[in-house]
Structure 1
Amino acid sequence: MKNFLQLILLLTFFSCSSTTKQTLATYTVAKDTDDLSFQDTFLGVTDDNIFYDSLNFNWGASIIKGDDNKYHCFYAQMPRKFGFLCWLTDGVVAHAIADSPAGPYTFKEVVLESRGYGNWDAYSVHNPRIKKYNGKYYLYYISTNTGDKKLSTTQFIEARTKWMENENRALVRINQRIGVAVSDNLNGPWERLDKPIVTPAGPIANITCNPAVTERPDGGYLMFVRGDKPNKKELIRSQAIALADKPEGPWVIQKEAAVGDLNAEDPCVWYDKSRERYYAIYHAFGYLGMITSIDGLSWHKAKNYKVSELNYKTKEGKTIKVHRMERPFVFLEDGKPTVFTVSIKTKEQDSYTLFIPLKEDNQTLN
């Protein structure tokens, strides 16, 4: 078929849980639709596009438009007085509001806090993603605990401030899991599930964290889940795909990794209806990269893979270099990418959230 690629994928999603139905889906794409040049949609930022807090580090913004026509941002907040490493022990999820999706945002309230020893989400609530499905709001987040070991004050300070070679820090790290809180209203109240919704399996081990969720075009839901690559002495981050029939689960991790050969994390994911394919953007410790998939299970580097180096441009054309650029998130309005958010960390151990306005991509599909 001249100038056309006919992709006919018949796939059965095999589940290791009897509560998640097996689905037979047929995906047909008339030609190679992978022509998104996401980096070319970036517009320059102004001070209104920078969200900074003098008392707290903020990290990992996720945006949704409310019924009030305001834009609601849910993000992680950590007290500066404890240092940046306290994200693993002292994080909360906060809520800010703006009239424009690119800001400026104004802090409104803290919506989720850790629930203390004896709960699965005993320490820190971090890296949220907000979604609305079937009239309800789902606030996905990560948290952790220390199992049967109750830390002393000294041990907790070590977990808060030390790196992973410390046994108390390692204990808090390895108990990270993903949970969800549900509400009928963006202003709450939020009802949490009593247990984590995703546990390590298949191509990831030790932990589950940093969820990114999207609705599948054929029904059901898809989640990127970060864990550790199994059977490795050194830390290699790996990304798995989990599927569910409902937003709260049960979630079933699939056998094949989405990103298993690259030390990368923090993917965001969305389905591009016009191109009939999924896209995901992750950070790879030095740049942001984009991967793509037709079926949501088999992923590869997008044609325009490199999204950004560790810098961004102001509206005046100045290039700002940064030390770390993580937690990418793409806000869609009317199905179109409108704002790209990233968390920025400087060499001076400072942080802020950046809301990059996007122009409409050069869509070439008919």
Structure 2
Amino acid sequence: MPPAPAAALFCIMLLSSALSHGASACSSALDCALSGDCVSGTCACDAAWSGPSCTTLNLVPMAPTQASSGAYRHATQTSWGANVLFSEEDNQYHMFVAEMANNCTLTSWIPNSQVTHATSPTIDGPYKFVSTLFETFHHNPRLTVDPATGDYLLFMIGGDLPSTPDCSGIPDADGEQYDTRIVVSSSPSLLGPWSTPSPPLVPQGSEDAWDYVVTNPSPIILQNGTTLMYYRGTPKYWNSSSAADGVGDELIESVGLAIAPHYLGPYTKPFDAPVLSYMNEDPFAYQDERGFHLLMHGRDDPLNTHVAWSPDGLSWSSGADIASGPDVELTDGTTVAFKNRERPQLFFDPTTNKPTHLFNGVCPTDHYGYAYTMVQEIQT
């Protein structure tokens, strides 16, 4: 698919602007973030969503012990971003999560991240370590299913890159490719075995492109095999402190799109710009009966979770709407604050295909770089 001409991109930007909600009155499901129906001018939200325009995740308060213990808190090792699917083979929930080798923290995720497999008999855990599936360097695991074969697909970034026992990182990691390249492994079972990861799938941008670095893969595989690969793009060198609010001329990190006839490629980029007009990362893409959705980690202050929606997977709302904040409401009426709450990933009920739980990587306020994996129930 060739790059879209400027006129087409301008039209998409106009549609994207129109998709962003303003007043609470609605005329169609688009005004309800495609997460509810417009009934007599008012949004009737799905159970998982609330607010005048159905843009707020309807999260269930957590027990204090559940928030502190997490779904996966493996000894003193840092974990960051988890996907979970249920397997009828062993009646277990299977988690695939990024975990740092050598008790390192997020401060040296390149090159110390690896992909871990953990299981639990219940969705909320605690999940127990099973094995290290892919050693350093592998990060950003995103689990999905091939609709054509039923095989499980584990997308991630990485390649062979030795860990550093002293937890030293790689300078300017965000400014170079290193091994932050999107690859995929497949398996007929969540129990494995998993194939050797593929060669890099999505081409990096040119040295002066907005998406020189391509990372954070999140695919939607359509029934005909066409794959929409959403990813985070960043330029070769940038200073995050220079972006005041991540909009307009300061948009230096956001979500891009690559498309292929098959999940193994070849991938082309239909646009030479991000699909969102707001600064976001960590996209989690999914499709339901109304359209397409993105849940993301926003780069605003505080670090909120953002949501975007699209009728076709191409033209999107701005990505500025806040789905949830960084803090967690507890059942005793208090809240717990986290230094970071990122990598949003949803679990869907296998029968209804409705979201029931939100997984995040969280950093306690009294730690710098240490993180664990938390799960919070969504109203159903």
* Same fold? TM cut 0.5: yes
Q: Tell me whether 1:353 sits opposite 2:370 in the alignment.
A: no
Q: Tell me if the contact between 1:258 and 1:298 (Cα under 8 Å) persists in the aligned partners.
A: no
Aligned counterpart in structure 2 of residue 271 of structure 1, from 277, 280, 287: 287
Matched, 1:32 2:29: yes
Matches within 5 A, 1:258-337: 258-259=274-275, 261-273=277-289, 276-285=290-299, 286-301=303-318, 305-333=321-349, 334-337=352-355
CA contact (8 A) 2:283 2:294 kept: yes
Q: Which of 332, 343, 359 is 2:361 aligned to?
A: 343
Find 2:204's aligned residue among 180, 183, 200: 200
Instruction: Tell me, in whole angstroms, the C-alpha distance in 2 between the residues paired with 1:48 and 1:87.
Output: 26
In the alignment, the residues of structure 2 paired with residue 207 and residue 40 of structure 1 have an alpha-carbon distance, to the nearest angstrom, of 30
191-200 vs 253-262, which moves further: 253-262
Structure 1 residues 331 and 270: CA distance shift in structure 2, 3 A? same
Give distance in 1, aligned partners of 2:125 and 2:332. Answer: 18
How far apart are the structure 1 equivalents of 2:168 and 2:309? 37
Q: Any idea what SS the aligned residue of 2:332 has? A: coil
Alignment of 1:179-258 (within 5 A): 179-201=183-205, 204-216=210-222, 220-229=226-235, 234=239, 236-258=252-274
Matched, 1:59 2:80: yes
TM-score w.r.t. structure 1 length? Answer: 0.75
1:86-235 aligned at under 5 Å gives the runs 86-114=108-136, 124-133=137-146, 134-144=149-159, 160-161=168-169, 163-164=171-172, 169=173, 174-201=178-205, 204-216=210-222, 220-229=226-235, 234=239
User: How many Å apart are 1:208 and its aligned residue?
Assistant: 1.5
Structure 1 unaligned segments of length 5 or more: list them: 1-13, 17-29, 115-123, 361-366
**Deviation at residue 219 of structure 1 after TM alignment:** 5.4
Change (3 A) 1:34 1:223: farther
89-98 vs 221-230, greater mean Cα deviation: 221-230
Deviations 1:309-355 (A, max 9, x none): 22011233321111111101111123101111111013312311111
1:200–1:99 Cα change, 3 Å: same
Is the counterpart of residue 45 in structure 1 residue 66 in structure 2?
Answer: no
Deviates more, 1:51-60 or 1:199-208: 199-208
The letter of the residue matching 2:113 is G
Q: Distance in 2 between matches of 1:327 and 1:105?
A: 18
Alignment CA distance shift 1:162-1:208 (3 Å): closer
What is the alpha-carbon distance in structure 2 between the residues aligned to residue 317 and residue 33 of structure 1? 34
State the distance in 1 between where 2:259 and 2:178 align. Answer: 23
Q: What percent of counterpart residues are identical?
A: 24
Would the aligned equivalents of 1:174 and 1:207 in 2 still touch at CA under 8 Å? no
Give the number of aligned pairs. Answer: 310
CA distance in 1, matches of 2:76, 2:102: 6
Once superposed, what is the RMSD of the aligned Cα atoms? 2.9
Answer yes or no: is the 8 Å Cα contact 1:45–1:355 preserved in 2. Answer: no
Q: Which residue of 1 aligns with 2:43?
A: none
Alpha-carbon distance, 1:159 to partner: 8.8
The two structures have a TM-score, normalised by structure 2, of 0.73
Higher strand proportion (structure 1 or 2): 1
Q: How far 1:272 moved relative to its partner?
A: 2.2
Deviations 1:39-79 (A, max 9, x none): 34211223446121223101110111213332111000103
Q: Which amino acid aligns with 1:272?
A: D
Structure 2 SS opposite 1:77: strand
Counterpart pick for 2:105 among 83, 86, 90 = 83
State the Cα distance separating 1:218 from its structure 2 match.
6.7
Aligned CA distance change for structure 1 residues 58 and 321 (closer, same or farther; 3 Å): same
Question: 1:100 and 1:82, CA in 2 relative to 1: closer, same or farther beyond 3 A?
Answer: closer
Note the residue ranges of structure 2 that are not aligned, 5 or more in a row: 4-26, 36-53, 241-251
